[in-house]
Amino acid sequence: MDLLNTLVDKGLRRELPTREEALAVLATSDDDLLDVVAAAGKVRRHWFGRRVKLNYLVNLKSGLCPEDCSYCSQRLGSTAGILKYTWLKPDEASRAAAAGLAGGAKRVCLVASGRGPTDRDVDRVSETIKAIKDQNESVEVCACLGLLSDGQAERLREAGADAYNHNLNTSEETYADITTTHTYADRVDTVRKAHAAGLSACSGLIAGMGESDEDLVDVVYSLRELDPDSVPVNFLIPVEGTPLAKEWNLTPQRCLRILAMVRFVCPDVEVRIAGGREVHLRSMQPLALNLANSIFLGDYLTTEGQAGQADLDMIADAGFEVEGAGEVTLPEHRASAGCGSHGAAGGCGSHEDGSGCGSHEDGGGVCGSVPAAPANEARTDLVAVRRRGAGTDLAPNA
Protein backbone atom coordinates (compact mmCIF):
# COMPACT_ATOMS: atom_id res chain seq x y z
CA MET A 1 0.00 0.00 0.00
CA ASP A 2 1.61 3.26 -1.16
CA LEU A 3 0.08 5.16 1.76
CA LEU A 4 1.80 2.98 4.34
CA ASN A 5 5.16 3.06 2.56
CA THR A 6 4.96 6.85 2.51
CA LEU A 7 4.06 7.02 6.20
CA VAL A 8 6.91 4.71 7.19
CA ASP A 9 9.40 6.83 5.24
CA LYS A 10 8.09 9.99 6.87
CA GLY A 11 8.11 8.41 10.33
CA LEU A 12 11.75 7.38 10.03
CA ARG A 13 12.58 10.99 9.09
CA ARG A 14 10.32 12.57 11.74
CA GLU A 15 8.42 14.25 8.92
CA LEU A 16 4.83 15.31 9.59
CA PRO A 17 2.25 13.40 7.52
CA THR A 18 -0.48 15.34 5.79
CA ARG A 19 -3.91 15.48 7.38
CA GLU A 20 -5.23 13.48 4.46
CA GLU A 21 -2.72 10.71 5.18
CA ALA A 22 -3.60 10.64 8.88
CA LEU A 23 -7.32 10.48 8.09
CA ALA A 24 -6.67 7.71 5.58
CA VAL A 25 -5.08 5.56 8.33
CA LEU A 26 -8.28 5.83 10.37
CA ALA A 27 -10.32 4.95 7.27
CA THR A 28 -8.44 1.74 6.41
CA SER A 29 -10.44 -1.47 6.39
CA ASP A 30 -10.14 -4.37 8.81
CA ASP A 31 -8.70 -6.38 5.91
CA ASP A 32 -5.73 -3.98 5.86
CA LEU A 33 -5.33 -3.77 9.64
CA LEU A 34 -2.31 -6.05 9.98
CA ASP A 35 -0.54 -4.12 7.22
CA VAL A 36 -1.21 -0.88 9.14
CA VAL A 37 0.12 -2.37 12.38
CA ALA A 38 3.21 -3.73 10.63
CA ALA A 39 3.97 -0.36 9.02
CA ALA A 40 3.54 1.64 12.24
CA GLY A 41 5.51 -1.07 14.03
CA LYS A 42 8.53 -0.32 11.84
CA VAL A 43 8.44 3.30 13.02
CA ARG A 44 8.00 2.26 16.66
CA ARG A 45 10.93 -0.19 16.54
CA HIS A 46 13.16 2.33 14.76
CA TRP A 47 12.88 4.81 17.62
CA PHE A 48 12.22 2.56 20.62
CA GLY A 49 13.31 -0.97 19.73
CA ARG A 50 11.26 -3.61 21.52
CA ARG A 51 11.30 -1.87 24.90
CA VAL A 52 8.08 -1.24 26.85
CA LYS A 53 8.13 1.42 29.56
CA LEU A 54 5.96 0.70 32.60
CA ASN A 55 4.21 3.52 34.46
CA TYR A 56 2.32 3.32 37.74
CA LEU A 57 -0.53 5.56 38.91
CA VAL A 58 -0.96 6.75 42.49
CA ASN A 59 -4.24 8.58 43.06
CA LEU A 60 -3.29 11.09 45.76
CA LYS A 61 -6.82 12.50 46.17
CA SER A 62 -9.89 10.79 44.75
CA GLY A 63 -13.25 12.25 43.82
CA LEU A 64 -14.83 15.52 45.00
CA CYS A 65 -13.74 17.45 41.90
CA PRO A 66 -15.46 20.77 41.05
CA GLU A 67 -14.92 20.36 37.29
CA ASP A 68 -17.60 18.85 35.02
CA CYS A 69 -15.54 16.76 32.55
CA SER A 70 -18.13 14.38 31.09
CA TYR A 71 -15.79 11.41 30.82
CA CYS A 72 -14.60 11.47 34.44
CA SER A 73 -15.99 9.47 37.36
CA GLN A 74 -14.55 12.06 39.77
CA ARG A 75 -16.46 14.95 38.18
CA LEU A 76 -18.90 17.36 39.75
CA GLY A 77 -22.25 15.55 39.93
CA SER A 78 -20.87 12.07 39.35
CA THR A 79 -22.92 9.30 40.92
CA ALA A 80 -20.30 6.65 40.21
CA GLY A 81 -19.55 4.56 43.29
CA ILE A 82 -15.84 5.33 43.33
CA LEU A 83 -13.47 5.69 46.25
CA LYS A 84 -13.48 9.19 47.71
CA TYR A 85 -10.68 10.40 49.97
CA THR A 86 -8.60 13.48 50.60
CA TRP A 87 -4.82 13.82 50.27
CA LEU A 88 -2.66 10.78 51.03
CA LYS A 89 0.19 11.47 53.41
CA PRO A 90 3.67 11.37 51.81
CA ASP A 91 4.53 8.03 53.46
CA GLU A 92 1.22 6.51 52.29
CA ALA A 93 1.86 7.67 48.72
CA SER A 94 5.45 6.40 48.90
CA ARG A 95 4.26 2.94 49.97
CA ALA A 96 1.74 2.88 47.13
CA ALA A 97 4.45 3.88 44.65
CA ALA A 98 6.79 1.20 45.99
CA ALA A 99 4.35 -1.52 44.93
CA GLY A 100 4.43 -0.34 41.33
CA LEU A 101 8.20 0.02 41.32
CA ALA A 102 8.56 -3.51 42.68
CA GLY A 103 6.44 -4.68 39.75
CA GLY A 104 8.83 -3.12 37.24
CA ALA A 105 7.48 0.41 36.82
CA LYS A 106 9.99 3.06 35.85
CA ARG A 107 7.76 6.11 36.27
CA VAL A 108 5.31 6.95 39.05
CA CYS A 109 2.46 9.27 38.12
CA LEU A 110 1.08 11.25 41.06
CA VAL A 111 -2.48 12.34 40.29
CA ALA A 112 -4.91 14.48 42.27
CA SER A 113 -8.46 15.42 41.34
CA GLY A 114 -9.42 19.09 41.22
CA ARG A 115 -9.28 22.13 38.98
CA GLY A 116 -5.67 22.80 39.90
CA PRO A 117 -3.36 22.83 42.92
CA THR A 118 -3.17 25.51 45.57
CA ASP A 119 0.28 26.50 46.75
CA ARG A 120 -0.32 24.30 49.81
CA ASP A 121 -1.13 21.40 47.47
CA VAL A 122 2.17 21.96 45.66
CA ASP A 123 3.90 21.77 49.06
CA ARG A 124 2.13 18.47 49.78
CA VAL A 125 3.10 16.98 46.44
CA SER A 126 6.68 18.24 46.84
CA GLU A 127 6.92 16.38 50.15
CA THR A 128 5.54 13.27 48.47
CA ILE A 129 8.06 13.48 45.63
CA LYS A 130 10.86 13.72 48.18
CA ALA A 131 9.54 10.72 50.11
CA ILE A 132 9.38 8.61 46.94
CA LYS A 133 12.80 9.65 45.66
CA ASP A 134 14.41 9.13 49.07
CA GLN A 135 13.44 5.46 48.74
CA ASN A 136 13.98 5.12 44.97
CA GLU A 137 16.55 7.58 43.67
CA SER A 138 16.31 6.56 40.02
CA VAL A 139 12.51 6.67 39.73
CA GLU A 140 10.87 9.15 37.35
CA VAL A 141 8.06 11.14 38.93
CA CYS A 142 5.31 12.74 36.87
CA ALA A 143 2.76 15.02 38.54
CA CYS A 144 -0.81 15.46 37.27
CA LEU A 145 -2.60 18.05 39.37
CA GLY A 146 -4.77 19.96 36.91
CA LEU A 147 -4.35 23.52 35.69
CA LEU A 148 -1.14 25.20 36.86
CA SER A 149 -0.77 28.78 38.04
CA ASP A 150 2.34 30.83 37.35
CA GLY A 151 5.40 29.52 39.18
CA GLN A 152 3.92 26.18 40.21
CA ALA A 153 5.64 24.16 37.46
CA GLU A 154 8.98 25.62 38.53
CA ARG A 155 8.29 24.68 42.16
CA LEU A 156 7.45 21.09 41.18
CA ARG A 157 10.62 20.84 39.15
CA GLU A 158 12.69 22.14 42.06
CA ALA A 159 11.04 19.51 44.27
CA GLY A 160 12.30 16.77 41.97
CA ALA A 161 9.42 16.21 39.54
CA ASP A 162 10.63 15.00 36.15
CA ALA A 163 7.43 15.46 34.16
CA TYR A 164 3.96 16.96 34.20
CA ASN A 165 0.85 15.45 32.64
CA HIS A 166 -2.10 17.44 31.36
CA ASN A 167 -4.07 15.96 28.48
CA LEU A 168 -5.79 17.91 25.71
CA ASN A 169 -8.31 15.05 25.49
CA THR A 170 -10.14 16.08 22.32
CA SER A 171 -10.12 18.66 19.54
CA GLU A 172 -10.42 22.36 20.26
CA GLU A 173 -13.61 22.52 18.19
CA THR A 174 -15.45 19.95 20.32
CA TYR A 175 -13.84 20.59 23.71
CA ALA A 176 -16.79 22.59 25.07
CA ASP A 177 -19.03 19.58 24.39
CA ILE A 178 -17.27 17.55 27.10
CA THR A 179 -16.24 20.24 29.62
CA THR A 180 -17.66 23.68 30.46
CA THR A 181 -15.80 24.62 33.66
CA HIS A 182 -12.51 25.29 31.90
CA THR A 183 -11.37 25.70 28.30
CA TYR A 184 -9.15 23.98 25.79
CA ALA A 185 -6.90 27.05 25.92
CA ASP A 186 -6.49 26.54 29.67
CA ARG A 187 -5.14 23.06 29.01
CA VAL A 188 -2.75 24.22 26.32
CA ASP A 189 -1.48 26.92 28.68
CA THR A 190 -0.67 24.35 31.39
CA VAL A 191 1.27 22.13 28.96
CA ARG A 192 3.26 25.18 27.88
CA LYS A 193 3.95 26.12 31.51
CA ALA A 194 5.35 22.63 32.12
CA HIS A 195 7.56 22.88 29.04
CA ALA A 196 8.83 26.31 29.97
CA ALA A 197 9.77 25.13 33.46
CA GLY A 198 11.96 22.38 32.01
CA LEU A 199 9.60 19.55 32.93
CA SER A 200 9.09 16.77 30.42
CA ALA A 201 5.61 17.49 29.09
CA CYS A 202 3.12 14.63 28.92
CA SER A 203 -0.15 15.28 27.08
CA GLY A 204 -2.55 13.03 25.25
CA LEU A 205 -6.14 12.29 24.32
CA ILE A 206 -9.25 10.26 25.05
CA ALA A 207 -10.81 8.33 22.16
CA GLY A 208 -14.34 6.96 22.18
CA MET A 209 -16.32 10.01 23.34
CA GLY A 210 -18.33 10.26 20.11
CA GLU A 211 -15.70 12.27 18.26
CA SER A 212 -15.16 12.16 14.49
CA ASP A 213 -12.02 11.08 12.66
CA GLU A 214 -11.36 14.77 12.02
CA ASP A 215 -11.49 15.48 15.76
CA LEU A 216 -8.96 12.72 16.46
CA VAL A 217 -6.59 14.01 13.81
CA ASP A 218 -7.03 17.60 15.03
CA VAL A 219 -6.06 16.78 18.62
CA VAL A 220 -3.08 14.65 17.60
CA TYR A 221 -1.79 17.39 15.29
CA SER A 222 -2.24 19.89 18.12
CA LEU A 223 -0.19 17.60 20.34
CA ARG A 224 2.52 17.35 17.70
CA GLU A 225 2.67 21.16 17.64
CA LEU A 226 2.93 21.34 21.46
CA ASP A 227 5.72 18.74 21.27
CA PRO A 228 5.27 16.70 24.47
CA ASP A 229 7.70 13.87 25.17
CA SER A 230 4.86 11.49 26.12
CA VAL A 231 1.45 11.07 24.48
CA PRO A 232 -0.97 8.90 26.48
CA VAL A 233 -3.81 7.46 24.39
CA ASN A 234 -6.82 6.78 26.61
CA PHE A 235 -9.83 4.79 25.44
CA LEU A 236 -12.95 5.99 27.24
CA ILE A 237 -14.03 3.77 30.11
CA PRO A 238 -17.80 4.36 30.20
CA VAL A 239 -18.40 4.39 33.96
CA GLU A 240 -21.98 4.24 35.21
CA GLY A 241 -22.89 7.53 36.86
CA THR A 242 -21.13 9.72 34.27
CA PRO A 243 -22.68 11.47 31.23
CA LEU A 244 -20.75 9.25 28.80
CA ALA A 245 -21.70 5.94 30.41
CA LYS A 246 -23.55 4.84 27.27
CA GLU A 247 -20.75 5.69 24.81
CA TRP A 248 -19.50 2.33 23.55
CA ASN A 249 -18.08 3.44 20.20
CA LEU A 250 -14.79 1.55 20.01
CA THR A 251 -13.76 -1.78 18.59
CA PRO A 252 -10.32 -3.35 19.06
CA GLN A 253 -9.63 -2.67 15.38
CA ARG A 254 -10.58 0.99 15.74
CA CYS A 255 -8.26 1.32 18.75
CA LEU A 256 -5.36 -0.14 16.78
CA ARG A 257 -5.94 2.28 13.90
CA ILE A 258 -5.98 5.20 16.33
CA LEU A 259 -2.70 4.09 17.91
CA ALA A 260 -1.14 3.66 14.47
CA MET A 261 -2.23 7.17 13.44
CA VAL A 262 -0.73 8.63 16.62
CA ARG A 263 2.55 6.78 15.99
CA PHE A 264 2.78 8.10 12.42
CA VAL A 265 2.09 11.69 13.50
CA CYS A 266 4.32 11.49 16.61
CA PRO A 267 6.96 8.95 15.51
CA ASP A 268 9.72 9.65 18.05
CA VAL A 269 7.49 10.31 21.07
CA GLU A 270 6.67 7.94 23.93
CA VAL A 271 3.20 6.73 22.94
CA ARG A 272 1.48 5.23 25.97
CA ILE A 273 -1.57 2.99 25.95
CA ALA A 274 -3.39 4.41 28.94
CA GLY A 275 -6.85 3.88 30.44
CA GLY A 276 -9.29 1.53 28.74
CA ARG A 277 -6.94 -0.88 26.97
CA GLU A 278 -8.35 -3.90 28.79
CA VAL A 279 -11.93 -2.81 28.08
CA HIS A 280 -11.58 -2.00 24.38
CA LEU A 281 -8.46 -3.74 23.03
CA ARG A 282 -9.10 -6.87 25.09
CA SER A 283 -7.29 -9.84 23.49
CA MET A 284 -5.68 -7.48 20.95
CA GLN A 285 -3.55 -5.79 23.61
CA PRO A 286 -0.34 -7.62 22.63
CA LEU A 287 -0.73 -6.43 19.04
CA ALA A 288 -0.96 -2.85 20.29
CA LEU A 289 2.54 -3.13 21.75
CA ASN A 290 3.79 -2.96 18.18
CA LEU A 291 2.45 0.60 18.07
CA ALA A 292 2.95 1.97 21.58
CA ASN A 293 6.12 1.73 23.65
CA SER A 294 4.60 2.45 27.06
CA ILE A 295 1.70 1.24 29.24
CA PHE A 296 0.33 1.65 32.75
CA LEU A 297 0.93 -1.27 35.07
CA GLY A 298 -1.98 -2.50 37.15
CA ASP A 299 -4.95 -0.32 38.15
CA TYR A 300 -6.03 3.15 37.06
CA LEU A 301 -7.30 6.08 39.12
CA THR A 302 -10.81 4.85 39.88
CA THR A 303 -11.11 1.61 37.90
CA GLU A 304 -9.26 -1.69 37.94
CA GLY A 305 -6.81 -2.81 35.30
CA GLN A 306 -5.76 -6.37 34.60
CA ALA A 307 -3.43 -8.08 37.04
CA GLY A 308 0.06 -6.61 37.09
CA GLN A 309 1.62 -10.02 36.48
CA ALA A 310 -0.65 -10.47 33.46
CA ASP A 311 0.80 -7.24 32.03
CA LEU A 312 4.33 -8.57 32.48
CA ASP A 313 3.42 -11.94 30.95
CA MET A 314 1.78 -10.20 27.98
CA ILE A 315 4.89 -8.14 27.29
CA ALA A 316 7.17 -11.18 27.42
CA ASP A 317 4.84 -13.42 25.38
CA ALA A 318 4.57 -10.77 22.66
CA GLY A 319 8.37 -10.69 22.31
CA PHE A 320 8.94 -7.34 24.02
CA GLU A 321 10.98 -6.47 27.10
CA VAL A 322 10.40 -4.19 30.06
CA GLU A 323 12.54 -1.06 29.88
CA GLY A 324 15.09 -0.93 32.68
CA ALA A 325 15.51 1.91 35.15
CA GLY A 326 18.93 2.74 33.70
CA GLU A 327 17.74 2.95 30.10
CA VAL A 328 16.85 6.25 28.46
CA THR A 329 13.34 6.11 27.07
CA LEU A 330 13.51 8.80 24.42
CA PRO A 331 15.64 8.76 21.27
CA GLU A 332 18.96 10.56 21.67
CA HIS A 333 17.92 13.69 19.79
CA ARG A 334 15.00 14.22 22.19
CA ALA A 335 16.79 13.17 25.37
CA SER A 336 19.76 15.40 24.62
CA ALA A 337 17.44 18.40 24.21
CA GLY A 338 17.28 18.53 28.00
CA CYS A 339 13.56 17.82 28.39
CA GLY A 340 12.85 17.21 32.05
CA SER A 341 16.49 17.25 33.11
CA HIS A 342 17.16 19.55 36.02
CA GLY A 343 19.90 21.37 34.14
CA ALA A 344 17.64 22.23 31.24
CA ALA A 345 16.94 25.80 30.32
CA GLY A 346 13.41 26.07 29.07
CA GLY A 347 11.85 22.88 27.75
CA CYS A 348 12.08 21.03 24.51
CA GLY A 349 10.89 23.38 21.81
CA SER A 350 9.79 22.18 18.41
CA HIS A 351 12.01 19.77 16.53
CA GLU A 352 11.15 21.26 13.18
CA ASP A 353 9.34 24.34 11.96
CA GLY A 354 6.23 22.17 11.48
CA SER A 355 4.09 25.19 10.61
CA GLY A 356 0.90 23.95 12.21
CA CYS A 357 -1.62 21.23 11.50
CA GLY A 358 -2.39 21.57 7.83
CA SER A 359 -5.80 22.28 6.35
CA HIS A 360 -9.12 21.47 8.00
CA GLU A 361 -10.82 20.12 4.90
CA ASP A 362 -12.11 16.56 4.92
CA GLY A 363 -9.23 15.34 2.80
CA GLY A 364 -10.76 15.69 -0.64
CA GLY A 365 -12.97 12.65 -0.12
CA VAL A 366 -10.20 10.41 1.20
CA CYS A 367 -12.30 9.42 4.19
CA GLY A 368 -15.35 11.63 4.10
CA SER A 369 -17.36 8.91 2.36
CA VAL A 370 -16.19 6.08 4.60
CA PRO A 371 -18.89 5.00 7.08
CA ALA A 372 -18.14 5.28 10.76
CA ALA A 373 -16.84 2.23 12.57
CA PRO A 374 -19.69 0.09 13.91
CA ALA A 375 -20.56 0.66 17.54
CA ASN A 376 -18.80 -1.68 19.90
CA GLU A 377 -20.73 -4.06 22.07
CA ALA A 378 -21.11 -2.68 25.58
CA ARG A 379 -18.78 -4.63 27.87
CA THR A 380 -19.85 -3.37 31.25
CA ASP A 381 -18.54 -6.64 32.69
CA LEU A 382 -15.01 -5.35 32.04
CA VAL A 383 -15.49 -2.12 34.02
CA ALA A 384 -14.80 -2.53 37.73
CA VAL A 385 -14.43 0.29 40.25
CA ARG A 386 -11.09 0.23 42.06
CA ARG A 387 -11.41 -1.03 45.64
CA ARG A 388 -7.75 -1.72 46.42
CA GLY A 389 -4.50 0.16 46.62
CA ALA A 390 -4.25 3.88 47.43
CA GLY A 391 -6.97 5.06 49.81
CA THR A 392 -7.77 1.52 51.04
CA ASP A 393 -6.30 -1.04 53.40
CA LEU A 394 -5.95 -3.62 50.62
CA ALA A 395 -2.76 -4.39 48.72
CA PRO A 396 -2.45 -2.61 45.35
CA ASN A 397 -2.45 -4.35 42.00
CA ALA A 398 1.07 -4.19 40.64
Q: Which of the residues are catalytic?
A: 65, 69, 72, 109, 142, 202, 272
* DSSP track, 202-229: E--EEE-SS--HHHHHHHHHHHHHH--S
Assess contact for 21 and 361: CB atoms under 8 A. Answer: no
Query: For 150-244, where are the alpha helices, taking DSSP H only?
Result: 152-158, 175-178, 184-196, 213-226
Closest CA to 40 of 6, 82, 73, 79: 6
* DSSP track, 118-138: -HHHHHHHHHHHHHHHHH-TT
**Max Cα–Cα distance, the chain, nearest Å:** 57
Assess contact for 59 and 302: CB atoms under 8 A. Answer: yes
Helix orientation angle between 119-135 and 90-102, rounded to the nearest 10 degrees: 40
Rounded to whole angstroms, the Cα distance separating 58 from 265 reads: 30
